[in-house]
Structure 1
Amino acid sequence: MATAHDQAVLQAIFNPNTPFGDMPDLYQEEDLTDDDSAFDPSLVSQVKQLELQGVSAAEAGDVKTALLCFDQAVKLLPERPSAYNNRAQTRRLQGDTAGAILDLERAIALSGGAGRTACQALVQRGLLFRLGNQAEEARKDFTRAAELGSKFAQQQAVMLNPYAALCNRMLSEVICKLRNPDVSEME
């Protein structure tokens, strides 16, 4: 029986252009945390509650309420990166890519490029860069997030590596020919 990793490798070989998100346990990030010890614990508690409300509102499709919750969280603790990261997602849902990138950059800067929020912000910004056809910027963000432990980011960085894509395509063709030796090259 194939492991989840084996299945992911086969998926990448036979379908090199498909997303890697169909293997849920494969992309568990390391147990990253953010250090909130510099903040007043009661404020952190309030901000976390606002963020939970914002996430719930966004999941329910109430983007306006979600944005208000994240704005309040940012106002309460403007030096804590998590609310910026969450607000970026909400802005993206509204179609405000530029605003989302600004929030992600702020989250990355405030986190010092370390911890859970930095990892998530780098992945999100990488995805936005990728959607904007900025492959090199996306690859850099995915590489940094992979260094923080994101398996998803690691796979994205590999996919954006032109040599890896070429190798995957060539290997896929070889395996396809081995599986179907009777199919002519002209087809």
Structure 2
Amino acid sequence: MSLATTLSKNDQFVLSTILGGGEGPAIEFSNPNKRKIVVDVEMQPDRHIKEVEPLVEMEKTAIKLIENQKDYERASAILDSIIKQEPNYASAYNNRAQLKRLLISNDANEESQFNSIIDDLEKAIKLAEPEGKNSGLDIIVSKMQATLLQNAYTQLGAIYIKMAGIPANADRAWNFEEKASQMLYRAGEYGSELAKELSSKVNPYAKLCGNMVQEALAREQRNLYQ
């Protein structure tokens, strides 16, 4: 959940196992000014909500219902009520997306099954992204913002990887992998070294280059023994 400081074990497992294949060169997405993302622990946690503590306590209740009792219905109702009460509170959208991911079938093979999750994650990111991010200055975020954006971008990356593997999406797999790579790289910018590393492995251009290099090395090695 967004209150965690690291990726869940499930996300680490999914991202680590699903990205098998050729290794390619590191891909870095556009950041022309080489701006750094700086976490300010004194900064207001949420730029839209002045008093987040009551909302955080409600989220903790929902998380305990999920983790301890598997009571997904009550947890969902709590997250829905938070969003109804404070529609600009990004963390609730992120946590609701993660709950929806828990409920979706592991063998889901319909793109439409992921649309609601993507909507929540994109909403969370839109609300949590810092203002003035297009300026040449370093990007200053609160600890809650950094953790939330890391988690939301990672979830989006995992979903796009899943969508790339749906048979009906075979002709669009390249696009989904490219999106996944971009989302994982953004998660890396906000602090997830694992996601940033995996962003290159899932990037279709990097994988193509990696496969070409491997093939060239294999040909060279065969030539040595001829």
TM over 0.5: yes
Change (3 A) 1:123 1:47: same
Matching residue of 2:77: 68
Counterparts of 1:105 and 1:148, CA distance in 2: 16
2:191 pairs, out of 149, 152, 161, with 149
Counterparts of 1:112 and 1:66, CA distance in 2: 26
Counterparts of 1:83 and 1:91, CA distance in 2: 12
- Residues 122 and 145, structure 1, Cα contact 8 Å, conserved in 2: yes
Matching residue of 1:17: 20
Matching residue of 1:50: 58
Q: Once the 2 structures are TM-superposed, how far is the Cα of residue 76 of structure 1 from its aligned partner?
A: 2.3
Deviations 1:86-138 (CA, angstroms, capped at 9, x unpaired): 00011122225221111001000001266221221111011001111021111
1:140 pairs, out of 182, 187, 195, with 182
Q: Once the 2 structures are TM-superposed, how far is the Cα of residue 164 of structure 1 from its aligned partner?
A: 4.8
Deviations 1:53-78 (CA, angstroms, capped at 9, x unpaired): 11111223211111111112212221
Change (3 A) 1:32 1:161: farther
Change (3 A) 1:137 1:73: same
Counterparts of 1:124 and 1:38, CA distance in 2: 23
The correspondence of residues 92-131 of structure 1 with structure 2, limited to 5 A, is: 92-95=101-104, 96-112=113-129, 115-131=146-162
Counterparts of 1:72 and 1:38, CA distance in 2: 17
Q: Mean alpha-carbon deviation: is it higher for 123-132 or for 145-154?
A: 145-154
Counterparts of 1:32 and 1:59, CA distance in 2: 30
Change (3 A) 1:115 1:155: same
Counterparts of 2:56 and 2:196, CA distance in 1: 28
2:203 pairs, out of 147, 153, 161, with 161
Gaps of 5+ in 1: 1-15, 19-29, 178-184
The sequence identity of aligned pairs, in percent, is: 29
* Number of aligned residues: 147
Equivalent position amino acid for 2:200 in 1 = V
Bigger proportion of residues as helix? 1
Counterparts of 1:31 and 1:112, CA distance in 2: 13
Q: Once the 2 structures are TM-superposed, how far is the Cα of residue 38 of structure 1 from its aligned partner?
A: 4.4
Q: Mean alpha-carbon deviation: is it higher for 61-70 or for 122-131?
A: 61-70
Equivalent position amino acid for 1:47 in 2 = L
Counterparts of 1:163 and 1:98, CA distance in 2: 26
Equivalent position amino acid for 1:120 in 2 = N
Counterparts of 1:102 and 1:38, CA distance in 2: 19
Q: What's the TM-score once normalised by structure 2's chain length?
A: 0.56
Equivalent position amino acid for 1:82 in 2 = S
Q: Once the 2 structures are TM-superposed, how far is the Cα of residue 170 of structure 1 from its aligned partner?
A: 3.7
Q: Mean alpha-carbon deviation: is it higher for 121-130 or for 161-170?
A: 161-170
- Residues 50 and 72, structure 1, Cα contact 8 Å, conserved in 2: no
